[in-house]
Chains A and B, each alone.
Chain A
Amino acid sequence: MTGMVLAVGALALINLVYKGVGPAVLGDRRFPPRVQEMIDALPVALLAGLVIVNLLGERWAAVDVTVVPGLLAAAVAWWFRVPQLGCVAVAVAVSIAVRWL
């Protein structure tokens, strides 16, 4: 039990340092154009990764084809300018419907 508590404390401290060190040290400094371009591209890379990782799961253990029609429906809803939460609701509804079939 003590080990578990220490592990939680250690992870909390690591997170605190990770998130705080950049802002504290760098301040207002600007990056060179190449670095800035990479930083600008990071959100898109991270989002694409989040979609795939959430879809597949670790070791692809969460692969579920019934999610795919839901995501496609969300993309179609997005194309028709449906708000973000509406797109998610469409994805959930379509996935539930496919699972019931």
Chain B
Amino acid sequence: MRRPPILAWLFVGALLTFLFAPVVCVVLFSFNDSAAAGPPIKGLTLSWYREIFTNVEYTDALRNSLQVALISASCSVVAGTAAALALVRLPRRITAVLAGFFVVPMVVPALFIGVALLSFFTRIGFELSLQAVIVGHIIVTLPLVIALIGARLQNLDLSMLEAARDLGASGPQAFARVLLPLIAPAIVSAALLSIATSADEFIISLFVNGGDQTVPVVIFGGLRTGVTPAINALASTILAATVLATLIAGRLVSLRDVAR
């Protein structure tokens, strides 16, 4: 028997601790019964959560974030699934060009997308608002949807569709009864990860919100006066939503398919 890889576990443990330390810290201090968002822990309370669900500034932000996440994820999933379906069947040359095209939103830093959108919207007279934020979030979630669903489609034998057609199914029937059930898990996980991405997106929202603040924008605004337990509770609420979405998404698709 090989000896257990202790060093490997030590390294992996240290790295994961580093990655999760800030998250744990924020969640922990959101329950702290003290006006200061730091040590010592004086006792546990839910009062900060009561505050964020009653204070209008926070509830507005939560409602805005929810609305933006649901609308942008829906748009991205519909347009992205359609695009992914076309990309696997288009001639290879066109697919390569389009795949490169859809990577652009992933590699351009979000700050540049934010200021570019701000310049563009003010130029064409598009009012800065939640709609503008939704546009920005569709831009960043579309590539994610296309990548996730594209990965799933690449592992499918698309000749099944032709078989369905040969057996008398119409195009829409073949899609709804054969293809859709096969890619449904990927679609759901793409939707969930889009929601998580949108709920967490900060920079683009900061530039184009025009006063309709989402949760991360409110958190950032609150940080000017220092970290407060209410801010931690607000952040933890979003964290709970994004982590839950990611957990479910991860159950639905194989990570190996995606990391390829």
A and B are partners in one complex rather than unrelated chains: no
Q: Which residues of A contact B (CB under 8 A)?
A: none
